Structure 1
Protein backbone atom coordinates (compact mmCIF):
# COMPACT_ATOMS: atom_id res chain seq x y z
CA UNK A 1 0.00 0.00 0.00
CA UNK A 2 1.56 3.25 -1.13
CA UNK A 3 0.56 6.90 -1.17
CA UNK A 4 1.64 7.06 -4.83
CA UNK A 5 -0.56 4.09 -5.76
CA UNK A 6 -2.67 4.92 -8.82
CA UNK A 7 -6.12 3.53 -9.50
CA UNK A 8 -8.02 3.56 -12.79
CA UNK A 9 -11.32 5.37 -12.52
CA UNK A 10 -14.42 3.55 -13.76
CA UNK A 11 -18.09 4.28 -14.23
CA UNK A 12 -20.75 2.36 -12.30
CA UNK A 13 -20.73 -0.38 -14.95
CA UNK A 14 -16.98 -0.86 -14.44
CA UNK A 15 -15.98 0.74 -17.73
CA UNK A 16 -12.73 2.69 -17.67
CA UNK A 17 -13.25 6.44 -17.99
CA UNK A 18 -9.68 7.23 -19.10
CA UNK A 19 -8.46 8.83 -15.84
CA UNK A 20 -6.55 7.71 -12.78
CA UNK A 21 -6.69 8.82 -9.17
CA UNK A 22 -3.94 8.60 -6.56
CA UNK A 23 -4.79 6.64 -3.45
CA UNK A 24 -5.65 9.04 -0.63
CA UNK A 25 -5.79 12.11 -2.87
CA UNK A 26 -8.55 14.64 -2.26
CA UNK A 27 -11.25 15.59 -4.75
CA UNK A 28 -12.67 12.20 -5.63
CA UNK A 29 -14.66 12.72 -8.86
CA UNK A 30 -18.45 12.39 -8.55
CA UNK A 31 -19.78 9.17 -10.05
CA UNK A 32 -16.33 7.56 -10.25
CA UNK A 33 -15.30 4.20 -8.80
CA UNK A 34 -12.14 2.13 -8.53
CA UNK A 35 -11.91 -1.65 -8.70
CA UNK A 36 -11.36 -3.70 -5.53
CA UNK A 37 -11.17 -7.47 -5.53
CA UNK A 38 -11.13 -10.27 -3.00
CA UNK A 39 -10.44 -13.98 -3.16
CA UNK A 40 -11.81 -16.86 -1.15
CA UNK A 41 -9.26 -19.66 -1.46
CA UNK A 42 -10.75 -23.13 -0.91
CA UNK A 43 -8.72 -26.26 -0.28
CA UNK A 44 -9.88 -29.69 -1.47
CA UNK A 45 -10.97 -30.49 2.09
CA UNK A 46 -13.43 -27.58 1.89
CA UNK A 47 -11.63 -25.25 4.30
CA UNK A 48 -11.38 -21.58 3.31
CA UNK A 49 -8.55 -19.17 4.01
CA UNK A 50 -9.22 -16.23 6.30
CA UNK A 51 -6.63 -13.62 7.19
CA UNK A 52 -6.39 -11.36 10.21
CA UNK A 53 -5.55 -7.79 9.25
CA UNK A 54 -2.28 -6.39 10.54
CA UNK A 55 -2.45 -4.09 13.57
CA UNK A 56 -0.99 -1.33 11.33
CA UNK A 57 -3.92 -1.31 8.89
CA UNK A 58 -7.38 0.24 9.00
CA UNK A 59 -9.77 -2.14 10.77
CA UNK A 60 -6.84 -3.70 12.65
CA UNK A 61 -6.95 -7.29 13.87
CA UNK A 62 -10.24 -8.14 12.18
CA UNK A 63 -10.83 -11.07 9.85
CA UNK A 64 -11.23 -10.92 6.08
CA UNK A 65 -10.51 -12.76 2.89
CA UNK A 66 -7.42 -11.57 0.97
CA UNK A 67 -8.36 -8.45 -0.99
CA UNK A 68 -7.21 -5.10 -2.25
CA UNK A 69 -7.50 -2.38 -4.85
CA UNK A 70 -6.68 -2.87 -8.51
CA UNK A 71 -3.71 -0.79 -9.60
CA UNK A 72 -3.83 1.30 -12.76
CA UNK A 73 -3.77 -1.08 -15.73
CA UNK A 74 -5.13 -4.05 -13.76
CA UNK A 75 -8.50 -5.71 -14.00
CA UNK A 76 -10.21 -6.79 -10.81
CA UNK A 77 -9.23 -10.39 -11.68
CA UNK A 78 -5.58 -9.34 -12.01
CA UNK A 79 -5.81 -7.56 -8.66
CA UNK A 80 -7.37 -10.58 -6.95
CA UNK A 81 -4.54 -12.84 -8.14
CA UNK A 82 -1.87 -10.29 -7.15
CA UNK A 83 -3.34 -9.51 -3.73
CA UNK A 84 -3.65 -13.21 -2.85
CA UNK A 85 0.01 -13.72 -3.79
CA UNK A 86 1.25 -10.58 -1.99
CA UNK A 87 -0.69 -11.18 1.23
CA UNK A 88 -0.39 -14.97 1.53
CA UNK A 89 2.30 -16.18 -0.86
CA UNK A 90 -0.24 -18.28 -2.78
CA UNK A 91 0.34 -18.14 -6.53
CA UNK A 92 -2.63 -19.16 -8.60
CA UNK A 93 -3.60 -19.04 -12.24
CA UNK A 94 -6.28 -16.49 -13.13
CA UNK A 95 -8.06 -19.28 -15.02
CA UNK A 96 -8.75 -20.99 -11.68
CA UNK A 97 -10.84 -18.06 -10.46
CA UNK A 98 -14.64 -18.21 -10.41
CA UNK A 99 -16.48 -14.90 -10.18
CA UNK A 100 -18.97 -14.72 -7.30
CA UNK A 101 -20.37 -11.27 -7.91
CA UNK A 102 -19.96 -7.53 -7.55
CA UNK A 103 -20.89 -5.26 -4.65
CA UNK A 104 -21.15 -1.53 -5.35
CA UNK A 105 -19.63 0.61 -2.61
CA UNK A 106 -19.52 4.41 -2.35
CA UNK A 107 -16.30 4.69 -4.38
CA UNK A 108 -15.47 1.11 -5.23
CA UNK A 109 -16.74 -1.76 -7.32
CA UNK A 110 -15.89 -4.81 -5.22
CA UNK A 111 -15.55 -8.09 -7.13
CA UNK A 112 -15.33 -11.36 -5.22
CA UNK A 113 -13.74 -14.53 -6.60
CA UNK A 114 -13.25 -18.12 -5.44
CA UNK A 115 -10.25 -20.28 -6.31
CA UNK A 116 -9.70 -23.95 -5.56
CA UNK A 117 -6.32 -25.10 -4.26
CA UNK A 118 -4.73 -28.47 -3.67
CA UNK A 119 -4.55 -30.25 -0.34
CA UNK A 120 -1.47 -28.44 0.87
CA UNK A 121 -1.09 -24.72 0.47
CA UNK A 122 2.01 -23.25 2.06
CA UNK A 123 1.42 -19.72 3.26
CA UNK A 124 4.02 -16.96 3.37
CA UNK A 125 2.29 -14.03 5.06
CA UNK A 126 3.17 -10.38 4.44
CA UNK A 127 3.47 -9.08 8.01
CA UNK A 128 2.62 -5.52 6.96
CA UNK A 129 -0.73 -6.74 5.67
CA UNK A 130 -1.58 -9.90 7.60
CA UNK A 131 -1.13 -10.71 11.31
CA UNK A 132 -2.15 -14.36 10.94
CA UNK A 133 -4.12 -16.71 8.74
CA UNK A 134 -6.36 -19.70 9.37
CA UNK A 135 -8.00 -22.39 7.27
CA UNK A 136 -11.55 -22.65 8.58
CA UNK A 137 -14.80 -24.38 7.71
CA UNK A 138 -17.26 -22.30 5.70
CA UNK A 139 -19.59 -22.35 8.71
CA UNK A 140 -16.84 -20.76 10.84
CA UNK A 141 -16.29 -18.03 8.24
CA UNK A 142 -20.03 -17.35 8.31
CA UNK A 143 -20.01 -17.30 12.13
CA UNK A 144 -17.16 -14.76 12.18
CA UNK A 145 -19.03 -12.55 9.73
CA UNK A 146 -22.32 -12.74 11.65
CA UNK A 147 -20.50 -12.15 14.98
CA UNK A 148 -19.01 -8.89 13.68
CA UNK A 149 -15.44 -10.20 13.73
CA UNK A 150 -14.67 -9.24 10.14
CA UNK A 151 -13.34 -5.91 8.88
CA UNK A 152 -16.22 -3.45 8.53
CA UNK A 153 -16.24 -3.32 4.69
CA UNK A 154 -16.93 -7.06 4.62
CA UNK A 155 -20.20 -6.74 6.54
CA UNK A 156 -22.24 -5.30 3.67
CA UNK A 157 -20.28 -7.17 0.99
CA UNK A 158 -21.11 -10.52 2.53
CA UNK A 159 -24.69 -9.53 3.31
CA UNK A 160 -25.22 -9.31 -0.45
CA UNK A 161 -22.77 -11.90 -1.74
CA UNK A 162 -22.91 -14.70 0.87
CA UNK A 163 -25.63 -16.86 -0.76
CA UNK A 164 -23.77 -16.97 -4.09
CA UNK A 165 -20.39 -17.31 -2.32
CA UNK A 166 -21.60 -20.35 -0.37
CA UNK A 167 -22.92 -21.88 -3.60
CA UNK A 168 -19.63 -21.35 -5.47
CA UNK A 169 -17.60 -22.72 -2.54
CA UNK A 170 -19.81 -25.80 -2.43
CA UNK A 171 -19.37 -26.33 -6.18
CA UNK A 172 -15.58 -25.97 -5.88
CA UNK A 173 -15.11 -28.76 -3.30
Structure 2
Protein backbone atom coordinates (compact mmCIF):
# COMPACT_ATOMS: atom_id res chain seq x y z
CA UNK A 1 0.00 0.00 0.00
CA UNK A 2 1.33 3.44 -0.91
CA UNK A 3 0.84 5.93 1.95
CA UNK A 4 1.20 8.94 -0.32
CA UNK A 5 -1.34 7.88 -2.93
CA UNK A 6 -4.24 10.34 -3.10
CA UNK A 7 -7.52 9.77 -4.92
CA UNK A 8 -10.19 12.20 -6.05
CA UNK A 9 -13.52 11.54 -4.37
CA UNK A 10 -16.30 11.35 -6.97
CA UNK A 11 -20.06 11.05 -6.88
CA UNK A 12 -22.18 8.27 -8.41
CA UNK A 13 -22.03 10.00 -11.82
CA UNK A 14 -18.23 10.08 -11.69
CA UNK A 15 -18.05 13.82 -11.12
CA UNK A 16 -15.37 15.10 -8.71
CA UNK A 17 -16.68 16.39 -5.39
CA UNK A 18 -13.60 18.56 -4.78
CA UNK A 19 -12.48 16.24 -1.97
CA UNK A 20 -9.44 13.96 -1.97
CA UNK A 21 -8.75 10.85 0.05
CA UNK A 22 -5.47 9.26 1.07
CA UNK A 23 -5.38 5.58 0.21
CA UNK A 24 -5.65 3.45 3.33
CA UNK A 25 -7.04 6.21 5.54
CA UNK A 26 -10.11 5.47 7.66
CA UNK A 27 -13.62 6.83 7.20
CA UNK A 28 -14.29 6.60 3.48
CA UNK A 29 -17.12 9.10 2.82
CA UNK A 30 -20.49 7.34 2.57
CA UNK A 31 -22.14 7.53 -0.83
CA UNK A 32 -18.88 8.53 -2.51
CA UNK A 33 -16.56 6.68 -4.85
CA UNK A 34 -13.04 6.65 -6.21
CA UNK A 35 -12.14 5.85 -9.80
CA UNK A 36 -10.47 2.62 -10.82
CA UNK A 37 -9.54 1.69 -14.37
CA UNK A 38 -8.64 -1.45 -16.31
CA UNK A 39 -7.58 -2.19 -19.86
CA UNK A 40 -8.11 -5.23 -22.04
CA UNK A 41 -5.21 -5.22 -24.50
CA UNK A 42 -6.20 -7.09 -27.66
CA UNK A 43 -3.84 -8.17 -30.43
CA UNK A 44 -4.89 -8.32 -34.08
CA UNK A 45 -5.05 -12.14 -33.79
CA UNK A 46 -7.77 -11.71 -31.13
CA UNK A 47 -5.62 -12.69 -28.13
CA UNK A 48 -6.19 -10.66 -24.98
CA UNK A 49 -3.68 -9.89 -22.23
CA UNK A 50 -4.31 -11.12 -18.70
CA UNK A 51 -2.02 -10.47 -15.75
CA UNK A 52 -1.66 -12.53 -12.61
CA UNK A 53 -1.49 -10.70 -9.30
CA UNK A 54 1.74 -11.03 -7.32
CA UNK A 55 1.80 -13.43 -4.37
CA UNK A 56 2.05 -10.51 -1.92
CA UNK A 57 -1.12 -8.77 -3.19
CA UNK A 58 -4.71 -9.23 -2.11
CA UNK A 59 -6.30 -11.90 -4.36
CA UNK A 60 -2.80 -13.36 -4.76
CA UNK A 61 -2.02 -15.29 -7.96
CA UNK A 62 -5.46 -14.64 -9.45
CA UNK A 63 -5.87 -13.34 -13.00
CA UNK A 64 -7.19 -9.93 -14.01
CA UNK A 65 -6.92 -7.18 -16.59
CA UNK A 66 -4.17 -4.63 -15.91
CA UNK A 67 -5.45 -1.64 -13.96
CA UNK A 68 -5.73 0.19 -10.69
CA UNK A 69 -6.78 3.43 -9.04
CA UNK A 70 -6.73 6.83 -10.72
CA UNK A 71 -4.62 9.31 -8.82
CA UNK A 72 -5.92 12.71 -7.73
CA UNK A 73 -6.15 15.02 -10.74
CA UNK A 74 -5.74 12.17 -13.24
CA UNK A 75 -8.30 11.53 -15.98
CA UNK A 76 -9.71 8.06 -16.47
CA UNK A 77 -7.86 7.49 -19.76
CA UNK A 78 -4.54 8.78 -18.43
CA UNK A 79 -4.90 6.51 -15.40
CA UNK A 80 -5.63 3.51 -17.64
CA UNK A 81 -2.57 4.26 -19.78
CA UNK A 82 -0.34 4.74 -16.72
CA UNK A 83 -1.54 1.59 -14.94
CA UNK A 84 -1.12 -0.50 -18.10
CA UNK A 85 2.43 0.80 -18.53
CA UNK A 86 3.34 0.34 -14.84
CA UNK A 87 2.06 -3.25 -14.68
CA UNK A 88 3.06 -4.57 -18.12
CA UNK A 89 5.58 -2.18 -19.68
CA UNK A 90 3.17 -1.61 -22.58
CA UNK A 91 2.77 1.99 -23.66
CA UNK A 92 -0.29 2.72 -25.79
CA UNK A 93 -1.48 6.09 -27.09
CA UNK A 94 -4.11 7.55 -24.76
CA UNK A 95 -6.44 8.17 -27.71
CA UNK A 96 -6.28 4.48 -28.71
CA UNK A 97 -8.12 3.46 -25.52
CA UNK A 98 -11.69 2.56 -26.45
CA UNK A 99 -14.22 2.94 -23.63
CA UNK A 100 -16.12 -0.29 -22.95
CA UNK A 101 -18.26 0.62 -19.96
CA UNK A 102 -18.42 1.59 -16.33
CA UNK A 103 -19.10 -0.79 -13.47
CA UNK A 104 -20.29 0.47 -10.08
CA UNK A 105 -18.92 -1.13 -6.92
CA UNK A 106 -19.53 -0.29 -3.25
CA UNK A 107 -17.00 2.55 -3.11
CA UNK A 108 -15.49 2.61 -6.60
CA UNK A 109 -16.44 3.15 -10.21
CA UNK A 110 -14.48 0.98 -12.66
CA UNK A 111 -13.91 2.38 -16.15
CA UNK A 112 -13.03 -0.44 -18.55
CA UNK A 113 -11.08 0.19 -21.75
CA UNK A 114 -9.96 -1.85 -24.71
CA UNK A 115 -6.59 -1.14 -26.35
CA UNK A 116 -5.93 -2.71 -29.76
CA UNK A 117 -2.27 -3.49 -30.48
CA UNK A 118 -0.47 -4.83 -33.55
CA UNK A 119 1.85 -7.78 -33.65
CA UNK A 120 3.04 -9.42 -30.44
CA UNK A 121 4.25 -6.65 -28.15
CA UNK A 122 6.79 -7.41 -25.45
CA UNK A 123 5.21 -7.54 -22.02
CA UNK A 124 7.36 -6.91 -18.97
CA UNK A 125 5.43 -7.69 -15.78
CA UNK A 126 6.09 -5.24 -12.95
CA UNK A 127 7.09 -7.93 -10.43
CA UNK A 128 5.76 -6.08 -7.39
CA UNK A 129 2.16 -6.10 -8.55
CA UNK A 130 2.17 -8.65 -11.36
CA UNK A 131 3.50 -12.20 -11.13
CA UNK A 132 3.15 -12.97 -14.85
CA UNK A 133 1.23 -12.11 -18.00
CA UNK A 134 -0.34 -14.28 -20.69
CA UNK A 135 -1.99 -13.73 -24.06
CA UNK A 136 -5.16 -15.84 -24.08
CA UNK A 137 -8.37 -16.23 -26.08
CA UNK A 138 -11.65 -14.74 -24.95
CA UNK A 139 -12.86 -18.32 -24.39
CA UNK A 140 -9.95 -18.80 -21.98
CA UNK A 141 -10.93 -15.60 -20.12
CA UNK A 142 -14.41 -17.08 -19.69
CA UNK A 143 -12.97 -20.46 -18.63
CA UNK A 144 -10.81 -18.81 -15.96
CA UNK A 145 -13.83 -16.86 -14.75
CA UNK A 146 -15.93 -20.04 -14.47
CA UNK A 147 -13.08 -21.88 -12.72
CA UNK A 148 -12.66 -19.11 -10.12
CA UNK A 149 -9.18 -18.23 -11.36
CA UNK A 150 -9.95 -14.54 -11.90
CA UNK A 151 -9.42 -12.14 -8.98
CA UNK A 152 -12.68 -12.04 -7.01
CA UNK A 153 -13.63 -8.46 -7.96
CA UNK A 154 -13.56 -9.52 -11.62
CA UNK A 155 -16.41 -12.01 -11.18
CA UNK A 156 -19.15 -9.37 -11.17
CA UNK A 157 -17.20 -6.98 -13.41
CA UNK A 158 -16.88 -9.56 -16.17
CA UNK A 159 -20.48 -10.66 -15.88
CA UNK A 160 -21.39 -7.06 -16.74
CA UNK A 161 -18.58 -6.18 -19.14
CA UNK A 162 -17.54 -9.33 -21.00
CA UNK A 163 -20.16 -9.06 -23.76
CA UNK A 164 -19.37 -5.41 -24.52
CA UNK A 165 -15.64 -6.21 -24.38
CA UNK A 166 -16.00 -9.00 -26.93
CA UNK A 167 -18.28 -6.88 -29.13
CA UNK A 168 -15.82 -3.98 -29.21
CA UNK A 169 -12.85 -6.33 -29.71
CA UNK A 170 -14.50 -7.78 -32.80
CA UNK A 171 -14.05 -11.21 -34.30
Scaled to the shorter chain, the TM-score interval is over 0.9
RMSD: 0.9
1:7 equivalent in structure 2: 7
1:31 equivalent in structure 2: 31
1:98 equivalent in structure 2: 98
Mapped to 1, the partners of 2:15 and 2:42 lie a distance apart of: 30
Query: Residue 145 of structure 1: CA displacement?
Result: 1.1
Query: Residue 56 of structure 1: CA displacement?
Result: 0.8
Q: TM-score, normalised by structure 2?
A: 0.97
Q: TM-score, normalised by structure 1?
A: 0.96
Mapped to 1, the partners of 2:168 and 2:98 lie a distance apart of: 8
2:63 equivalent in structure 1: 63
SS where residue 55 of structure 2 aligns?
coil
Mapped to 2, the partners of 1:77 and 1:155 lie a distance apart of: 23
Query: Residue 154 of structure 1: CA displacement?
Result: 0.4
Q: 1:19-168 residue pairs with structure 2 within 5 A? A: 19-168=19-168
Query: Residue 12 of structure 1: CA displacement?
Result: 0.2
Query: Residue 120 of structure 1: CA displacement?
Result: 2.1
Determine if contact 1:36/1:111 at 8 Å carries over to the other structure: yes
Aligned residues: 171
SS where residue 159 of structure 1 aligns?
helix
Mapped to 2, the partners of 1:74 and 1:164 lie a distance apart of: 25
Structure 1: which 4+ aligned runs deviate by more than 3 Å? none
Determine if contact 1:35/1:75 at 8 Å carries over to the other structure: no
Mapped to 1, the partners of 2:71 and 2:52 lie a distance apart of: 23
SS where residue 32 of structure 1 aligns?
coil
Gaps of 5+ in 1: none
